[in-house]
């Protein structure tokens, strides 16, 4: 049987998601959006490239949530993105309302699906999605760490003048300005990245590394400032497709995702960005490892900002 991915939200990220999934023939795709004609038009456009792209995935658009029926995975980008000067947290009230209604419909029409949330503020929205659907935590996860880690790896690759494919670097914590890039284990195919930077730059290595970490934390805002209308969409879509592929193919990939923590990394009852195994059941398990004192402190600061968003959301009645 062919697998099915539902995209809820057919805006910038939704469009790239549909195109990538079809091009990989990962699954059939249905896109649902509230704007009349938008999902139908985008999906027709992608369907008409099937001959050129040599793909057989069926792609359809709809304004009705019934189209979610029989979906294996729901990827949620419904909501509004940031404008220049806005933080992700500024989106809390408007996107909470949207995510609540999307979650009700996922629960109704795709009760067995695995949900990947992308809408911001990510950690709060994934929390709300799980709360409303009441799906087990392993079936409700968030995309942020795959993208943040890719940005970190890319900036390291540019600095070291090596292929980004060979850089392994992870960003943990919440998806906000307090995210936690783990430089200690960043490496170029096993060669420690920090040592390479020190050999290349000597005493200046620390400043260069700090600048890379700052750029990683601010990377979303850098794109927002350049685009002026909307936020990053190619890279978040690519990141969510990597997660969806790991799930549909039961690859047991180890990816940084927003997963629910039950005591791992000293956190209970919150979604945070951590390395987890992704397989046919969604987040199969969290891979815990020892953080050093500095990392622990950064993780704690990040946890507090996630907690603040979740509390603010509760105060708004969600
Ligand atoms: P955009 O192009 O505005 O698309 C959002 C779409 O959602 C629009 O087409 C809306 O019509 C649609 N929508 C609104 N309400 C509903 C609803 N109830 N049901 C179905 N569709 C609805 O935004 P985008 O695609 O650029 O970004 C989407 C979200 O992702 C935003 O919240 C961004 O902040 C967020 N985002 C997250 C990351 C992460 O890495 C976590 C990165 C970039 C953007």
CB 132 within 8 A of CB 100: yes
The conformational region for residue 298 under phi > 0 = left, psi -120 to 50 = alpha, else beta, is alpha
Q: What percent of the chain has pLDDT over 70?
A: 100
Bridge-based pairing of strands 191-192 and 253-262 is: unpaired
Q: Which residues of 260-291 are buried (b: 16+ CB within 10 A; e: fewer)?
A: bbeebbebeeebbbbbbbbbeebbbebeeeeb
Q: Quick check: CB of 183 below 6 Å from ligand 1?
A: no
Ligand 1 atom with the shortest distance to the CA of 95: 32
Q: At 101, is the pLDDT very low, low, confident or very high (cuts 50, 70, 90)? A: very high
Residue pair 147/117 in contact by the 8 Å Cβ criterion: no
First vs last C-alpha separation in the chain? 37
Q: Is the minimum distance from the CB of 14 to ligand 1 under 6 angstroms?
A: yes
Tokens of 193: 């990245």
Q: Is 105 in the pocket of ligand 1 (CB under 6 A)?
A: no
Q: What are phi and psi of 47, to 5 degrees?
A: -60, -35
CA nearest ligand 1 atom 16, residue: 78
**Is residue 208 within 6 Å of ligand 1 at its C-beta?**
no
81 lines ligand 1 (CB under 6 A): yes
Which whole-number Å values give the CA distances from 247 to 76, 243, 253, 283, in the listed order?
16, 6, 9, 9
Known catalytic residues are 175
Pocket of ligand 1 contains residue 32 by CB under 6 Å: yes
Q: What is the mean pLDDT of residues 182-204?
A: 97
Its pTM stands at 0.98
Position 87 confidence tier, pLDDT thresholds 50, 70, 90: confident
Q: What is the pLDDT of residue 90?
A: 85
Protein residue with least CA distance to atom 40, ligand 1: 144
State whether residue 196 is helix, strand or coil: helix
Q: What is the mean pLDDT of residues 227-234?
A: 95
287 in Cβ contact with 276 (< 8 Å): yes
Ligand 1 center to 53 CA (angstroms): 26
Q: What's the pLDDT score for residue 267?
A: 97
Which residues lie closer than 8 Å to 272 by C-beta, 6 or more apart?
Answer: 123, 172, 173, 174, 258, 259, 261, 265, 299, 302, 303, 306
Is residue 1 scored above 80 in pLDDT? Answer: no
Is pLDDT at 234 greater than 90 in this prediction? yes
What is the average pLDDT across 102-125? 97
At residue 79, the 3 state secondary structure works out as: coil
For residue 9, the CA-to-ligand 1 centroid distance in Å is 6
Give the whole-angstrom CA distance, residue 244 versus residue 212: 28
Residue whose token pair is 């000067």: 85
How many angstroms is it from 13 CA to the middle of ligand 1?
A: 7
Q: At residue 233, does pLDDT exceed 80?
A: yes
Nearest CA to ligand 1 atom 42: 236
Q: Is there an atom of ligand 1 within 6 Å of 80 CB?
A: yes
Dist. CA 210 → ligand 1 center (Å):
31
Residue with tokens 């992704």: 278
Best residue among 18, 33, 95 to mutate for probing ligand 1's pocket (most ligand atoms within 8 Å of CB) is 33
Counting residues of the chain whose pLDDT is more than 90, the rounded percentage is 95
pLDDT in tens, 15-60: 999 999 999 999 999 999 999 999 999 999 999 999 999 999 999 9
Closest by Cα among 218, 180, 181, 242 to 88: 218
pLDDT (tens digit per residue) in 121-137: 999 999 999 999 999 99
Q: Which residue's CA is the closest to the ligand 1 atom numbered 4?
A: 11
Q: Is 150 in the pocket of ligand 1 (CB under 6 A)?
A: no
């Amino acid at each position: 049987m062919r697998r099915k991915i539902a995209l809820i939200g057919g805006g910038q990220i939704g469009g790239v998601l549909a195109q990538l999934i079809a091009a990989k023939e990962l699954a059939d795709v249905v896109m649902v959006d509230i704007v009349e004609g938008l999902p139908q038009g985008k999906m027709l456009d992608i369907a008409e490239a099937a001959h050129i792209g040599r793909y057989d995935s069926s792609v359809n658009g709809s304004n009705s949530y019934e189209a979610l029926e029989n979906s294996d995975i729901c990827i949620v980008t419904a909501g509004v993105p940031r404008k220049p000067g806005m933080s992700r947290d500024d989106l809390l009230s408007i996107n909470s309302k949207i995510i609540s209604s999307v979650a009700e419909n996922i629960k109704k029409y795709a009760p067995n699906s695995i949900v990947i949330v992308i809408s911001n503020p990510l950690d709060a929205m994934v929390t709300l999605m799980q709360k409303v659907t009441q799906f087990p935590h392993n079936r409700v996860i968030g995309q942020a760490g795959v993208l943040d880690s890719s940005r970190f790896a890319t900036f390291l690759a540019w600095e070291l003048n090596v292929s980004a494919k060979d850089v392994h670097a992870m960003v943990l914590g919440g998806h906000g300005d307090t995210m936690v890039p783990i430089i200690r284990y960043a490496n170029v195919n096993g060669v420690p990245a920090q040592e390479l930077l020190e050999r290349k730059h000597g005493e200046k290595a620390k400043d260069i590394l700090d600048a890379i970490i700052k750029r990683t934390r601010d990377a979303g805002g850098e794109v927002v400032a350049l685009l002026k209308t909307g936020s990053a969409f190619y890279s978040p879509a690519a990141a969510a497709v990597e997660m969806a592929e790991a799930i549909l193919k039961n690859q047991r990939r180890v990816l940084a995702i927003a997963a629910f923590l039950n005591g791992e990394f000293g956190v209970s009852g919150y979604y945070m960005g951590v390395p987890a195994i992704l397989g046919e059941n969604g987040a199969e398990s969290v891979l815990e490892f020892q953080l050093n004192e500095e990392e622990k402190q950064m993780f704690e600061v990040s946890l507090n900002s996630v907690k603040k968003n979740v509390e603010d959301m509760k105060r708004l009645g969600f």
